[in-house]
Amino acid sequence: MATNNFLCHSRAGGNPGFTLLETLVVVAIFTLLAGALWAFQKDLWQNNAFIQNSIVAESEARGALKNLIAELRAAAPGADGSYALAAASSTAITFFTDLDKDGGRERVRYYLEAGSLKKGTTEAAGTPVTYSDANEKKQIVVHNLINYAGGLFTCYGDNYDGVTATSSLSAPINITEVRLIKAKITIDADPNRTPTPMSFESQVTIRSLKDNL
């Protein structure tokens, strides 16, 4: 009888372990915590990736605009005797400049295509010297362009006062009248997320044409 009393006391006063309900509650809490942690890590990773993409996009746009302005400023007649500025519109600029500093001049074309700013470079070749479209090397210099319906380039002539936008040259642009070119690039790494789009703008006067001012 004493033995039976001892066994009953042990079962009642000892550690019976978790009940099924307690186990389910613990599992549910663990699942919620794990889900919250995963969601936090996912958001953190996505935010970091977006920030990095934005930094890359901004650097890309600034670098491309800087190169464009520098190359345009140094534009000069082509190796075949062509006028320094070969063509100009709101979506494309073609000119001649010495990109590789070898004394020769490449034909350079910046143009809008499929939401990107692209650059085409053509070396002079042959006798007599020519620039063949088949030899043009193309590359994307700015991705994720937006708000480009009005164009990327604005050309001005002698009458530009530095303020009045309406004094810009109308299409079709007579390249011999161009004295100053404005370029504006607006990018958005992800239109569905903040921050807002970034715009970069600069202007340049082609040195070889300044005597005509």
Q: Which of 50, 30, 29, 48 is nearest to 40 (CA)?
A: 48
**Dihedral (Cα; 77, 210, 186, 174), 10-degree rounding:** -70
> pTM of this prediction?
0.74
Decide: residue 173, CB within 10 A, 0-12 exposed, 13-18 middle, 19+ buried: buried
Domain membership flag for residue 27: no
What residues form DSSP beta bridges with 110? 93, 119
Question: Is 40 inside any structural domain?
Answer: no
- E strands, the chain, are 85-88, 92-97, 106-113, 116-122, 137-142, 153-156, 180-187, 198-205
Q: Which range marks the domain in which residue 92 is found?
A: 47-212
Is 26 contained in some domain? no
Q: Is residue 23 part of a domain?
A: no
22, part of any domain:
no
pLDDT, tens digit (0-9, with 9 covering 90-100), for 115-162: 899 999 999 999 999 999 999 999 999 988 887 777 899 999 887 766
Mind listing the pLDDT tens digit for each residue in 19-47? 877 777 777 787 888 777 777 676 656 66
Q: Does residue 144 sit within a domain?
A: yes
Number of domains in the chain: 1
What residue type is assigned to position 27 of the chain? Answer: V
Assess if residue 192 is contained within a domain. yes
